[in-house]
Amino acid sequence: MKDLVSIAQWSAARIRRLLDLALDVKRHSGRYRDAMRDRTLVMLFEKPSLRTRVSFEAAMTQMGGHAIYYDLGSSPLGRGKESVEDTARVLSRYADAIMARMFRHADIVALARHSGVPVINGLTNDEHPTQILADLLTILERKGRLDGLTLAYVGDGLNNVTHSLMLGVARLGLHMRIGCPDEAAYRPDPAVVRRAARLARASGARIDIVADAREAVRGADVVYTDSWMSYHIPEEQKAERMARFLPYQVNSALMRRARRSAIFLHCLPAVRGCEVTDEVIDGPRSAVFDEAENRLHIHKALLLHLVAGVPAPRA
Ligand code: CP
Ligand code: NVA
């Protein structure tokens, strides 16, 4: 598997090795100073980004390589003049790896299939695997373990971050409770639910979907939420979604339902006062900026692993 398109395609052992490598990179960044020398990452974007764009670019710079930002809106592909397949074939002749943020998940799948170099999914409408790797790294740092933990996710269930969390948790054997409105438009995609359930049977993970946010959060070790208006959601839906998701806001009252030691995570960007209040995101249990920083370290580890074939150090 040369790519990271979906976290479900990676074994638990491979994910854990990558987390170990990221911890090593974070502690000893100097060791990897030249690891990407003469290497180029092409970064394709169809949607906005702060963290993904800047952390991948900084990761390449800090390891002696180079990253090219390419706005797909001004590409032949974005203008309907070239196929995804040919774009992949051409980029593979120039670059050592491709990272892409696209609307359609099928486009990343096609990009990876026709690329001769590793392709990293930097978010599609359906999945956001690099985010979940950074989240797992943050949980591991804060809790010292992953096994036996319960992660509560509340808010928009039909969401790329929710989907990748479900698949990651199912791979690694954590527990997850999702609190979201009981309607198809807001619940996780049934195909992802089935896939996660299959993986969970093998790993011993448990994933429940409930309509009550308080039930989802009760006794959780990690409370997670995401924007109610993902990049691809049309503005016309805003008023309806705000009203529908309001009972799922992460505020102090909801956080009290979690364990005392629970941490709060959010992939960011956050809309304060909507999915999370200031007191929670700026409060002592919030780990959101460590989580954002960990994108940098996990991306370095990913590039080292996929491009330079670096194995994780022995534990
Ligand atoms: N969390 C995340 O992917 O942020 P960006 O959209 O800023 O890249
Ligand atoms: N679900 C969000 C994640 C942003 C990082 C979105 O797709 O916009």
Which strand ranges, in their side-by-side order, compose the sheet holding 222-225?
206-210, 175-179, 150-154, 222-225, 263-266
Closest approach atom of ligand 2 to CA 156: 1
Q: Is 227 in the pocket of ligand 2 (CB under 6 A)?
A: yes
**CA-CA distance, 293 to 287, in Å (whole number)?**
10
- 38: which residues sit within 8 A by CB, 6+ positions away? 65
The set of residues, in sequence order, having a beta carbon less than 8 Å from that of 142 and lying 6+ positions away, is 263, 287, 290
Using the mean position of ligand 2's atoms as its centre, give its distance from the Cα of residue 292 in Å.
13
Is the CB of residue 160 below 6 angstroms from any atom belonging to ligand 2? Answer: yes
Per-residue confidence (pLDDT) for residue 315, from 0 to 100: 47
Superfamily of domain 129-291: Aspartate/ornithine carbamoyltransferase (3.40.50.1370)
Atom of ligand 1 nearest to the CA of 231: 6
Pocket test for ligand 1, best of 44, 47, 50, 127 (most atoms within 8 A of CB): 50
Instruction: Report residue 121 as tokens.
Output: 């999914």
Atom of ligand 1 nearest to the CA of 128: 3
Alpha carbons 206 and 208: distance in angstroms, whole number: 7
Residues with catalytic roles: 101, 128, 131, 226, 267, 295
The string of DSSP letters for 172-191 reads HT-EEEEE--SSTTTSPPHH
Ligand 2, atom 7, residue with closest C-alpha: 230
What are the start-end ranges of the H helices in the chain? 12-27, 51-62, 84-94, 105-114, 129-143, 160-172, 190-203, 213-217, 238-245, 252-255, 278-281, 288-308
Q: What is the pLDDT of residue 313?
A: 53
Tell me how far the alpha carbon of residue 122 lies from the centroid of ligand 1, in angstroms: 9
The domains of the chain are located at: 7-127+295-308, 129-291
Locate the ligand 2 atom nearest the alpha carbon of residue 47 and give its number: 8
Q: In the numeric block, which tokens belong to residue 283?
A: 């409060």
At residue 108, the pLDDT reads 98
Residue 184 Cα distances to 95, 196, 228, 292, angstroms: 40, 17, 15, 30
Distance separating the N- and C-terminal Cα atoms of the chain: 23
Query: Counting Cβ atoms within 10 Å, is residue 276 exposed (0-12), middle (13-18) or buried (19+)?
Result: buried
User: What pTM does this model have?
Assistant: 0.97
CATH of region 7-127+295-308, choose from 2.40.440.10, 2.170.190.11, 1.10.760.10, 3.40.50.1370: 3.40.50.1370
Q: Which residue's C-alpha comes closest to atom 6 of ligand 2?
A: 230
Place of tokens 């309509």: 211
Supply the pLDDT for residue 1: 85
Asked if residue 55 has its Cβ within 6 Å of ligand 2, the reply is no
> How many CA atoms lie less than 13 Å away from 60 in the CB half-sphere?
22
Which residues are bridge partners to 69 per DSSP?
43
Please tell me the number of the ligand nearest to residue 227's CA. Answer: 2
Query: Which residue owns the Cα nearest ligand 1 atom 3?
Result: 52
pLDDT in tens, the chain (315 residues): 899 999 999 999 999 999 999 999 999 999 999 999 999 999 999 999 999 999 999 999 999 999 999 999 999 999 999 999 999 999 999 999 999 999 999 999 999 999 999 999 999 999 999 999 999 999 999 999 999 999 999 999 999 999 999 999 999 999 999 999 999 999 999 999 999 999 999 999 999 999 999 999 999 999 999 999 999 999 999 999 999 999 999 999 999 999 999 999 999 999 999 999 999 999 999 999 999 999 999 999 999 999 999 985 554
